[in-house]
Every structure is written in C-alpha cells, then in structure tokens.
Chain A
Amino acid sequence: KQEVTQIPAALSVPEGENLVLNCSFTDSAIYNLQWFRQDPGKGLTSLLLIQSSQREQTSGRLNASLDKSSGRSTLYIAASQPGDSATYLCAVRNDMRFGAGTRLTVKP
C-alpha cells in the first residue's frame, strides 16, 4: 500500500521568502503526482499535476518537481505572500492516496 508523507507538518515564514514543501512516497510506480491547496473549511484546489514522465511543472510562482526513483516531490513557492497561507497536500496516482499536508502561514 502506498504511503505518502509530507514534511514539515506546519511552516511559518515572513512574507517574501522562497520556500519548499516536501512530499515523499513509498511506491515509485505512479502515473502522476498532484499538488493541491486547501483553505479552511473548503475543498481542495488543484495547483499542479506532474506526469510520471515529467521532471517538473510550473505555474506562476509555483514550481513542482518529481523524482520517481527516490520517491520524492517538492513544491517550490517563490516570493511568498499572505494569500498563500493554506494547507498544501500532495496525492499520488495510481490510487490517489494523500499526504497529511503542510499547513503554511505567511506573515505580513
């Protein structure tokens, strides 16, 4: 059974910092990996989807990388803003299991 781990569980940074969130998984036979954002009391919003054949994907200030052989993905957020404060989750396919998430707080 696939196990997905996200470190750290919580992160607090001052506005403007660049930061990295980590996601690790135990079974490297995945189709893709998806990063999500969740605001309190809301559903999950898709941020980036990386196919197993890709090494990275970029959207605006976000960059996600994937290293299947080591079972790792990172989400890089450049020039963080208070509006980035949320919980960030990763999920791996085949079976769409999730990590517990990283709760990010960006302080003005």
Chain B
Amino acid sequence: DVKVTQSSRYLVKRTGEKVFLECVQDMDHENMFWYRQDPGLGLRLIYFSYDVKMKEKGDIPEGYSVSREKKERFSLILESASTNQTSMYLCASRTSGGAGELFFGEGSRLTVL
C-alpha cells in the first residue's frame, strides 16, 4: 500500500519559533509537494520538488523554505513562525511520468500562538 507520512498531525508553536514539518513517502516518487489549506481559500501550493535537491516555488512561498536531501523526504521549514501561518499543511507525492497519480499524507494541523 502506498504511503505518505507526515510526522506530526497536530503542532502548537509560538510566534518566532522555527518549525519543521516532515514528510516521508515510500513509493520512490520523484515529485513531492507542500500545500496549505485554509477555509475559503482551498489548497495553495507552497513549494514543490521534482527530484532530490531540487525545489521550485509555488504560489505562496513567502515565509517558508524546503529541504529535499533524500528522495523519500521533503521538509517544510518555517524560519520564524507567525500567527498567519496557522493552517493545515498537506504533503503529496507522485511519479514524474505524465500518468502519475498524486498521493497525500494525512495533514499537519499547525497552530501558531
């Protein structure tokens, strides 16, 4: 069974803290994505990675960075968390071929106080 695992389902952090959200996939997928989901705004793409050590900005990269040192792991980093980064964060992966189906993790609910 395919699996995308997000290490933390629920996090509570304080303003200014550095936050790491981890995502691991076991399907040997080349492409990985980070989205945030907010009521009324839908899913918005933060960053994506076509392969190891590659990264591309999505629609809302400000305040975030990413790391892809190994193929199976894609990390989202909030250098200095702010209250407007309170959200549901969703990680996804897929193969690089045109037929690739997108698979999601269960999500990480981040609250910044």
Contact = CB atoms under 8 A, between A and B. Distances in A.
A91 B90 CA distance: 14
- For the residues of A in contact with B, the DSSP-based class is strand
Interface stretch (A16-24, A37-45, A65-73, A76-84): A37-45
Contact of A89 (B43, B45, B100, B105): B43
B42 A43 contact: no
Interface in B56-113: 88, 90, 92, 98-107, 109
Contacts of A32: 98-99
A55 interface: no
B68 to A, nearest CB: 17
Contact of B101 (A49, A98, A99): A49
Contacts of A98: 35, 42-43
A53 to B, nearest CB: 10
Interface residues of B, number: 23
A31 B101 contact: no
Contacts, number: 52
B45 A97 contact: yes
Contacts of A46: 101-104
A18 to B, nearest CB: 26
A36 B45 CA distance: 16
B101 A34 contact: yes
A31 B101 CA distance: 11
B60 to A, nearest CB: 12
A99 B43 CA distance: 8
Contacts of B99: 31-32, 49, 51
Contact of A44 (B40, B90, B98): B90
B105 A43 contact: yes
B33 interface: yes
Interface of B: 4, 33, 35, 40-43, 45, 48, 88, 90, 92, 98-107, 109
Interface of A: 31-32, 34, 36, 41-46, 49, 51-52, 89, 91, 93, 95-101
